[in-house]
Amino acid sequence: MVKLVVTFLGTSAAAPTAKRGLPAVAVKREGEVILMDCGEGVQKRVLSESLGLGSDMTILITHLHGDHVTGLLGLLQTMSLAQRRKPLNVVGPAKLLKWLEVTAELLHIGLTFPIRFSTAKPGLVLRTGGFRIRAARAAHSVEAFSYLVEELGRPGIFYPEKAKSLGVPEGKLWSRLQKGKSIMLGGKRIEPLEVTGPRRLGRKIGYSGDTRPSAKLARFFSDCDLLIFDSTFRDSDREKAVERRHSTSLEAAKLAKKAKVRRLVLTHFSARYTSVSSLVREARSVFPSTIAASDGLSIEVAYPV
């Protein structure tokens, strides 16, 4: 089984606190990293979590508010100082590329690697070695996107007895069939489905970024194995959430229930709350499988049953 681990690098909203940095979440699968948002100071967290400055990395930026993007330049500079050579995938609103180009020039950041920029748009935006990345428009005060990180599907369960009955010798040919690849044997093509069960689904991670809840996002995040959702305010502060285009913990839970996700993680907490236990209680009253993110928290995501 391939491990897929989600690590929270920053979980505060707008301003850092003594215990919470600005928004950033890492998804790691084998040697590949998907980094969602880059709050100030993210480079230190990338180092402390050993995510690898030279790893196969894709960075997803939800929107151009400082708490979600100002750490990106520092991370790029540190990667260059470490002599990174691999191309870096960056996905975000169209204006992100202009901001990167202008600020990198003004600050004399000479990159040692190419950036492959993809403009965020509704639908499929990028396919990496292990994932498909989809985007949907979020409902925030500026152009913003939510992301769905979908692990590519796995071949079905391999049945050795079926391979033996077809005369397939154990070894490399079995390995090819187990990986979902067809083989030729004695002039005859043997397809993977002749010796395996149906393909199995990969894991799905949803990330809202800053947003109001919506029916569109509930559909977008349908059946996620892990949903990470904006929970800036508790329900008693709902007027502030509406005014500032964020969500409450209760609204996040209602959306998670509607989307039939397996697990909900609340994040992006307002600095006004010294404890987020009340936000978790509110959410669990609607969606029991809810936890609060904290800086450094890592969650291993299991395969869907």
Catalytic residue set:
67
Contact criterion met (CB below 8 Å) for 91 and 115: no
DSSP β-bridge partners for residue 57? 33
Residue 14: closest CA among 43, 37, 47, 44:
37
d(CA 181, CA 174): 10
Q: For the chain, what is the total number of helices (H) and then of strands (E)?
A: 10, 16
Residue 72: closest CA among 120, 95, 40:
40
d(CA 109, CA 279): 41
DSSP β-bridge partners for residue 7? 26, 298
